[in-house]
Amino acid sequence: MNSARCKPWEHELSRKQFLGTVAGAAAGAVGLAPLLQPAIAQDLRQRQKQVLFVWLDGGMSQLESWDPKPNTQFGGPFRAIPTSVQGIHVSELLPKSAQQMHQLAIVRSLCTQDNSHSAGVARIQRGDPKNRGVTYPYFGSAVAKLIGPGSSNLPPYVWIKPGSGGFKHDDAGFLGPKFGALAFGDGLPPDNLLLHESITEQADEERDQLRQAANRRYAARRKKEVTGANSYVFEMARTLMKRQDLFDATKLDPLDVERYGKHEIGRHMLQARKMLEAGVTFVKVNSYGWDTHGDNFNGHASLVPKFDQAFAAIIEDLAARGMLENVLVIAMSEFGRTPRINGHIGRDHWPEAWSLVMGGCGVQKGIVVGETNDQGTFVSTDEYDIGHLFHTWFQALGIDSEHVEYDNAGQPLPIAHDDMHVIKELLA
């Protein structure tokens, strides 16, 4: 186990600032009106598959969320409450999500391997394939490659996060930098997005034609993977410049702002909804601060209700708009928290028995898969590792994870761990 308290640098993600103003290109699209006309709703229903991936960085406690054990040795002070599905209970810190349980599925039998952030974050988001001497892509990059931008022509992988934005090319692994994440710091567009007042649109178009000609000459003598990514970020920056109203907070419905919450995760989740409506294939929303080695109960009493408000709101909205049948929703961390409470009244890292919630595209509604023992210390049913979840997510998106392969410069590679399998009871 790691030391009881993590150091700040353990939570830092390596960043690479965008070249020019490319940081937010992936999200550029005009958000749809809050009240969708029938024709628009029908269009949304016919769209390709999309993903909303909510990453609760640091490790949400399963005991204070999806797998409460009240009145037990390690259960903590919070009650379990009923949900909209008879017989399923969750923590009292999740009252709004409890009312959306009929749209969701809980997995309570996760048993993974890494109890450190540095290993766990990457392992979980890459699906832990067998070591073949290459760096596998994060799930967002995998979906961007396998599904693509679709008819929207928007960049396929967007990341909404606190702090700074940028282009996270290393998410893509061997797929190449083109499939990295375009991050929006605090959900905001990059700086200097507007065309300078001294440059006319005609002049800007002529400059871009010159850039394209120079790029073709440059690309003719270099590897396609590198030059393609370089051209891609310029094109996405130009797309974003034309779609700035996606970031215009004055166009948000005040009722939506209240429903989602004016806190950080509420604002970011509402931004995620707009991007999904605009057609972005994969939207990741990050929330930090879940590593509660100290004062776990007060920490979760503060964090979970904010998540609950925002998560329940977007589930409700996606369902009302007819989008949930095409959007796979996943909310998870890199591991759970220890049942045993430490000397700082906190819970440490616990990959042995934890939970996640999912719903939407291809997912069975209103179910719980797996369970832990009475004390919540270990899984008492079949254990599922992250490789099982990758197979399941791909299958929910209509991607045959047992037969579809990556082509890594002629090297065929499985898209999910080839010793693991789909969790069939999770699929509709």
pLDDT in tens, 380-391: 999 999 999 999
Q: Is residue 6 part of a domain?
A: no
> Do the bridges between strand 157-161 and strand 282-287 make them parallel or antiparallel, or are there none, so unpaired?
parallel
Quick one: CA torsion of 59, 65, 66, 67, rounded to 10 degrees? 90
In angstroms, rounded to a whole number, what is the distance separating the alpha carbons of residues 111 and 114? 10
Tally of structural domains, the chain = 1
% the chain with pLDDT above 90: 64
The answer to whether the CB of 395 falls within 8 A of the CB of 142 is no
Q: Is residue 4 part of a domain?
A: no
Q: Is residue 164 part of a domain?
A: yes
Q: Is residue 9 part of a domain?
A: no
In angstroms, rounded to a whole number, what is the distance separating the alpha carbons of residues 23 and 163? 13
Q: Which domain holds residue 120?
A: 16-426
Q: pLDDT for 232-255, tens place per residue?
A: 777 777 777 777 777 888 888 999
Q: Is residue 123 part of a domain?
A: yes
Q: What is the DSSP letter of 88?
A: -
Beta bridge partners of 183: 159, 166
At 336, which helix (H) or strand (E)?
strand 336-337
CATH number of the domain within which 62 lies:
3.40.720
Cα–Cα nearest to 277, from 28, 26, 31: 31
Q: Is residue 302 part of a domain?
A: yes
% the chain with pLDDT above 70: 86
Evaluate the CA torsion angle 384, 406, 229, 46 in order and state its sign.
negative
Q: pLDDT for 67-123, tens place per residue?
A: 999 999 999 999 999 999 999 999 999 999 999 999 999 999 999 988 899 888 999
In angstroms, rounded to a whole number, what is the distance separating the alpha carbons of residues 175 and 228? 12
Q: Is residue 221 part of a domain?
A: yes
Binning pLDDT at 50, 70 and 90, where does residue 10 land? very low
Q: Is residue 367 part of a domain?
A: yes
pTM of the complete model: 0.85
